[in-house]
């Protein structure tokens, strides 16, 4: 479903991604892990072109994302993204946050958008917060709303950029629970995370990045038991 070929990304002279290739199938859940500065987030952000790759080809479904003639806005409607710092719209209520894009980008009717938003809010356990502004929510609640907002567009892939890294420890669980149920429902997901237990439990594959390279691509059972590379071994010793 997603194909990445020889992806390079440089910021000025600093080459952050040094030729990454991989393929992600429908309904797969991918966890990307690696030390900070390894290029995990940049890799994720290249997929929906929040960062423009310096080189390489990314294909999502039939769309060659990196092709200049592709309407990237159209592609992005189909790729949900959840950020470390939520980025909810602070001047809009929870419900407005979720209904804005479906109504204004996809032209969904107001009633339909609200019905869908309420269903999603129930799914993430926040229906009673529908009319609150984001500043009234805890970090965990914000992130769950952000997930609902992304899902409202009916994306076929969801990208998660360290979704729990900015949360207080007691709120991590509620967000991971929502993500797990999403994975169970068959959503294709690419998750940059530091939550090793979550990655082990939920992911189908672990992509281990280090120094801008895809060092390892293994199922979690094997990765956490005996990683193939010395670098992954070293990393796991530090974090586990």
Q: Which residues bind other proteins (CB under 8 A)?
A: 48, 50, 73-77, 79-81, 83, 85, 87-92, 100-101, 104-105, 133-135, 149-150, 153
Nearer to other proteins, 24 or 206 (CB): 24
Structure tokens at 88: 């909810």
Tokens of 118: 């309420």
Token representation of residue 115: 């019905």
- Cβ closest to other proteins, residue 90 vs residue 125: 90
Among candidate residues 21, 34, 63, the one with its CA nearest the CA of residue 223: 34
Indicate the residue among 80 and 220 with the shorter CB distance to other proteins. Answer: 80
Q: How far is the CB of 105 from other proteins (least distance, A)?
A: 5
CB of 33 to other proteins, least distance (A): 22
- From CA 53, how far away is CA 201, in angstroms rounded? 31
Nearer to other proteins, 164 or 218 (CB): 164
Least distance to other proteins, CB of residue 159, Å: 8
The answer for residues whose C-beta is within 8 angstroms of residue 178's C-beta and 6 or more apart is: 123, 124, 125, 144, 147
CA distance 47 to 78: 12
What is the pairing mode between strands 188-192 and 157-161?
parallel
State the minimum distance, in angstroms, from the CB of residue 227 to other proteins.
32
């Amino acid at each position: 479903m997603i194909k990445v070929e020889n992806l390079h990304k440089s910021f000025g002279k600093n080459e952050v991604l040094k030729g990454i290739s991989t393929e992600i199938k429908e309904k797969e859940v991918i966890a990307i892990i690696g030390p900070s500065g390894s290029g995990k987030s940049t890799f994720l952000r290249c997929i929906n072109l929040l960062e423009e790759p310096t080189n390489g080809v990314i294909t999502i479904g039939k769309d060659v994302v990196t092709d200049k003639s592709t309407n990237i806005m159209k592609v992005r409607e189909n790729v949900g993204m959840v950020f470390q710092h939520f980025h909810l719209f602070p001047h809009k209520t929870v419900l407005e946050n979720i209904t804005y894009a479906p109504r204004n980008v996809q032209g969904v009717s107001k009633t339909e958008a609200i019905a869908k938003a309420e269903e999603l809010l129930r799914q993430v356990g926040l229906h009673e917060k529908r009319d609150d502004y984001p500043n009234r929510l805890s970090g965990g609640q914000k992130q769950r709303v952000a997930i609902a907002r992304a899902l409202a567009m009916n994306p076929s892939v969801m990208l998660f950029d360290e979704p729990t890294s900015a949360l207080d420890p007691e709120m991590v669980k509620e967000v991971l629970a929502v993500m797990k149920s999403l994975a169970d429902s068959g959503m294709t997901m690419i998750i940059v995370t530091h939550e090793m237990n979550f990655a082990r439990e939920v992911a189908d594959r672990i992509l281990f990045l280090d120094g801008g390279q895809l060092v390892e691509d293994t199922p979690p059972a094997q990765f956490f038991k005996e990683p193939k590379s010395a670098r992954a071994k070293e990393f796991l010793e530090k974090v586990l």
